[in-house]
């Protein structure tokens, strides 16, 4: 008997619900939306499911306050946590969200011991580390989302500056998901043409800085964290895993010697497929790029050292 893939999304806030909606539109599998708020996951799931006849998807979307509904999931997406508010850094959320992420992941992992785990909760690099400790899963099955989102912002701003389609812009961002992230200009291109050949250096630097503060820009405008682009980023990662696409995308991965770093989750380019992280790809750095990456990794280690995991 054919069995559709099952995806659990923990957290039915704006990001979680939008992620569930995007994945339903892409027909990735049956979706379970889980949250502690009574009626919210059930209501949002029902609303999404009722769009099926219009959007032509046949899968089931359900909601629950009980983790039993998540049993035997193929992928668990964690969006739960306190949202960032204006004036707050991602690190301000550290201890509150670490406790939340540990608890929800521990519950879900026991019911789906073979699942792949994708973490969005902020600060994302640290929360990926917490999620791995809570689940006990092999490192390659725990992945943080940040690089896809940060790179999408970088690509958007580059495409706008060049007045071209973002489909033709290739770029990626490494390091921690924060103000010290490292947009790699030298590896960025438009239809194979290096952006350094197409844009002046001062324009590129402004785009790099805007990318680093992209989440804050949205936050300051809406007074809540971004959720549309993060949801699309999560969906792209989940699709790469469920369809074993072996996509080369920037994700938060555990490093065990790659780039000279150990025992840390941080943003790097990786092959993402049916087993999660199939391989971390190591790109060559210039001295300045290496220094920037080291600084970004250090900014992840600092809050990580405040936790006892």
Q: Which residues are catalytic?
A: 177
- Residue of 137, 147, 118, 96 lying closest to 307 (CA atoms): 96
Q: Do 149 and 242 meet the contact criterion of CB atoms below 8 Å apart? A: no
Q: Do 273 and 247 meet the contact criterion of CB atoms below 8 Å apart? A: yes
DSSP string, 63-114: EES-GGGGTT-SEEEE--SPPP-TT--GGGGHHHHHHHHHHHHHHHHHH-TT
- The 10 Å Cβ neighbour count of residue 58 is 9
Q: Do 151 and 170 meet the contact criterion of CB atoms below 8 Å apart? A: no
CA angle 229, 115, 8 (to 5 degrees): 50
């Amino acid at each position: 008997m054919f069995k559709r893939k099952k995806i659990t999304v923990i957290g039915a806030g704006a990001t979680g619900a939008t992620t569930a909606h995007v994945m339903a539109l892409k027909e990735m599998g049956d979706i379970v939306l889980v949250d502690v708020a009574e009626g919210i996951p059930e209501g949002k799931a029902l609303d999404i499911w009722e769009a099926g006849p219009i959007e032509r998807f046949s899968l089931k979307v359900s909601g629950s306050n009980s983790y039993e509904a998540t049993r035997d999931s193929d992928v668990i997406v964690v969006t739960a946590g306190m949202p960032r508010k204006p004036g707050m850094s991602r690190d301000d959320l550290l201890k509150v969200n670490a406790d939340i992420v540990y608890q929800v992941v521990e519950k879900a992992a026991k019911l789906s011991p073979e699942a792949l785990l994708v973490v969005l909760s902020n600060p994302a690099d640290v929360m990926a580390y917490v999620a791995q400790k809570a689940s006990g899963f092999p490192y390659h099955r725990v992945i943080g989302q940040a690089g896809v989102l940060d790179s999408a912002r970088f690509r958007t701003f580059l495409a706008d500056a060049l007045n071209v389609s973002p489909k033709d812009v290739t770029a990626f961002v490494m390091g921690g998901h924060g103000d010290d992230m490292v947009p790699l200009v030298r590896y960025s291109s438009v239809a194979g043409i290096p952006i350094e050949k197409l844009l002046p250096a001062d324009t590129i630097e402004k785009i790099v800085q805007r990318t680093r503060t992209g989440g804050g820009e949205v936050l300051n405008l809406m007074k809540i964290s971004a959720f549309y682009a993060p949801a699309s980023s999560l969906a792209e990662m989940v699709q790469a895993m469920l369809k074993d696409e072996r996509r080369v995308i920037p994700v938060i991965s555990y490093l065990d010697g790659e780039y000279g770093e150990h025992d840390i989750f941080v943003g790097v380019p990786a092959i993402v497929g049916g087993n999660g992280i199939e391989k971390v790809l190591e790109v060559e750095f210039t001295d300045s790029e290496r220094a920037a990456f080291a600084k970004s990794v250090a900014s992840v280690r600092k809050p990580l050292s405040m936790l006892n995991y």
